[in-house]
């Protein structure tokens, strides 16, 4: 079933920074305002337009609520937010977790999934797994196991991309799922820029995998729900990014550019869609032109300061709205079901042999020169009756009753051509699959080599630090040795001075004693002499 991508435009109110800069509200909503946006002299139409005063609940009702039932019934679903930095993407997808009024799409959809399950048939058994990762600097990083920093993207037997080695946690309650979300959210890269105090520096993907089994009929369905919060496109002149933040901005803009190229290729019907140009587009491959019911939320600023970026976002959404996805139920066929289908096909083949026998008999009579009465012709109606179990009745009634011989003779070359072409096509598919497998394997090798190079680079940096420390240590040791020698020299000098001082002190004491003795002698000599008269 072919379905267009659903595009919802959300215009936020002016933020405090825009109000402080006296930015004008340049977006308008003509008519009822539910499907159109007017900006810069141009009208933009979408499946739905959410105006600034809309609540988080209103946004959820429009964006996500229908997808819950789809995923539980075996369909794949994707919801992702796109827009410039600080346009409200993370607020739309996450909001304030735990707040019943301001929580966003993700927490509401978690509650809704479990509420639906609780109300469904008791014969249905559900298994729910959750994965949470980010694409940071073009590397896939597991947010539930931060030791996994560069995971590869592979394709399964149906050529559906998946992240190899990603952590999958089984959850059975909303609380367990919220715990996983909180754990992953705490590990996500954010930074402060001139336009956003909590700017996401990576694309985050929350994957909820739901498997359902009917215990009575053994019927199994599985659906995947991708909830994607894209990092915002940035103009460095506005954000003031520098250093690591600047490198992050370059990678963000590069991956968003690759996303735009994929959407342009799908819109133009190009034979080659460049999904492999980035990790982001490979992850979203099933969501864009594949097997998924996809809703894109384009988030816009209404400020005149951001008019160019808002117009670019609106044009992006207009292009994406024309993309068609081929949506099918993901059903796991059991052995009993395969057996039933085999028996059905076997019966069909038996009836086909009967038809061929009738046609060959009629053909022999014609070739023998006999005249076959029209009543004996094997007609389309008889063919339809023979394949009553496998042919649609409306199709039979619309086909005229004509000799089957003519249709067989005209269709045989086409069947033969298809039969002859089929092996070549199969070989081509196998070769293509092998090439993709080799590509993925080579990607694994490149990732491993990149990890090895990163590890070696780290070792080299550590060695450089050690060498620098060693050189610095040697220099300091030399300085210490020189200081010690200088100290010893000064110590020796001080010792000599002390010895000299001690000698001076001894001489001083000796001289002092001599002086005291002289003084006493002098004093004695100065005493007056008294002579007795004779």
Contact 229, 90 (CB under 8 A): yes
Q: Is 84 annotated as a binding residue?
A: yes
Q: Is 352 annotated as a binding residue?
A: no
Contact 276, 261 (CB under 8 A): no
Question: How far apart (Å, rounded) are the C-alpha atoms in residues 169 and 131?
Answer: 7
Q: Is 89 annotated as a binding residue?
A: yes
Q: What would the two tokens of residue 511 be?
A: 């001289």
Q: Which residues contact 100 (CB under 8 A, 6 or more apart)?
A: none
Q: Is 90 annotated as a binding residue?
A: yes
Q: Please give the angle made by the CA atoms of 415, 416 and 418, to the nearest 5 degrees.
A: 65
Question: How far apart (Å, rounded) are the C-alpha atoms in residues 454 and 480?
Answer: 38
- Report the 3 state secondary structure along 325-374: EECCCCEECCHHHHHHHHHHHHHHHHHHHHHHHHHHHHHHHHHCCCCCCH
Question: How far apart (Å, rounded) are the C-alpha atoms in residues 79 and 107?
Answer: 13
Neighbours of 496 (CB within 10 A): 10
Q: Is 437 annotated as a binding residue?
A: no
* 3-class DSSP assignment, residue 430: helix
Q: Is 481 annotated as a binding residue?
A: no
- E strands, 32-160, are 36-39, 42-45, 48-50, 77-82, 124-136, 139-142, 153-155
Candidates 253, 193, 208; CA nearest to 114 is 208
Contact 313, 82 (CB under 8 A): yes
Q: Is 86 annotated as a binding residue?
A: yes
Q: Is 382 annotated as a binding residue?
A: no
Question: How far apart (Å, rounded) are the C-alpha atoms in residues 268 and 172?
Answer: 43
> How many residues belong to the chain?
534
- Residue ranges of the binding site for ATP: 83-90
- Residue ranges of the binding site: 83-90
């Amino acid at each position: 079933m072919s379905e267009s991508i659903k595009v919802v435009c959300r215009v936020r109110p002016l933020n405090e920074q825009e109000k402080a800069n006296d930015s004008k509200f340049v977006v308008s909503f003509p008519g009822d305002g539910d499907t159109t946006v007017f900006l810069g002299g141009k009208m933009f139409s979408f499946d739905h337009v959410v105006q600034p005063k809309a609540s988080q609940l209103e946004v959820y009702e429009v964006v996500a609520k229908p997808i819950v039932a789809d995923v539980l019934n075996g369909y794949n679903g994707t919801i992702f937010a796109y827009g410039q930095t600080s346009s409200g993407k993370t607020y739309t997808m996450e909001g304030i977790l735990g707040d019943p009024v301001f929580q966003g799409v993700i927490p509401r959809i978690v509650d809704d999934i479990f509420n639906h399950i609780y109300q469904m048939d008791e014969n249905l058994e559900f298994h729910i797994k959750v994965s949470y990762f980010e694409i940071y600097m073009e590397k896939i990083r597991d947010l539930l196991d931060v030791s996994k920093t560069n995971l590869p993207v592979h394709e399964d037997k149906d050529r559906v991309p998946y992240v190899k080695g990603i952590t999958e946690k089984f959850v059975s309650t909303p609380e367990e799922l919220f715990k996983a979300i909180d754990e992953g959210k705490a590990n996500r890269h954010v930074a402060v820029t001139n336009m956003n105090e909590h700017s996401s520096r990576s694309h985050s993907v929350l994957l909820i995998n739901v498997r359902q089994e009917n215990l009575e009929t053994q019927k199994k369905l599985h659906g995947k729900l991708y909830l994607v919060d894209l990092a915002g496109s940035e103009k460095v002149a506005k954000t003031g990014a520098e250093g690591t933040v600047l490198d992050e901005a370059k990678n963000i803009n590069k991956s968003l550019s690759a996303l735009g190229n994929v959407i342009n290729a799908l819109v133009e019907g190009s034979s080659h869609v460049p999904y492999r140009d980035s990790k982001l587009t490979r992850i979203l491959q099933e969501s864009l032109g594949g097997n998924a019911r996809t809703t894109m939320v384009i988030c816009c600023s209404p400020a005149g300061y951001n008019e160019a970026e808002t117009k670019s976002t609106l044009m992006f959404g207009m292009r994406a709205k024309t993309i068609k996805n081929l949506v099918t139920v993901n059903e796991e066929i059991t052995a009993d079901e395969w057996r039933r289908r085999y028996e059905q096909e076997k019966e069909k083949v038996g009836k086909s042999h009967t038809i061929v026998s009738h046609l060959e008999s009629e053909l022999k009579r014609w070739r023998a020169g006999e005249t076959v009465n029209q009543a004996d012709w094997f007609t389309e109606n008889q063919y339809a009756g023979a394949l009553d179990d496998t042919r649609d009745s409306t199709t039979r009634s619309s086909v005229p009753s004509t000799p089957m011989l003519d249709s067989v003779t005209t269709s045989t070359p086409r069947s033969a051509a298809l039969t002859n072409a089929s092996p070549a096509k199969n070989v081509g598919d196998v070769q293509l699959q092998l090439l993709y497998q080799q590509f993925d394997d080579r990607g694994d090798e490149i990732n491993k080599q990149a990890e090895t190079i990163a590890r070696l680079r780290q070792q080299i940096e550590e060695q450089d630090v050690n060498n620098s420390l060693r050189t610095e240590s040697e220099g300091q040791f030399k300085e210490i040795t020189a200081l010690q020698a200088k100290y010893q020299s000064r110590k020796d000098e001080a010792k000599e001075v002390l010895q000299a001082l001690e000698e001076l002190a001894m001489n001083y004491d000796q001289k002092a004693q001599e002086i005291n003795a002289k003084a006493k002698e002098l004093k004695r000599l100065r005493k007056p002499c008294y002579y007795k008269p004779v």
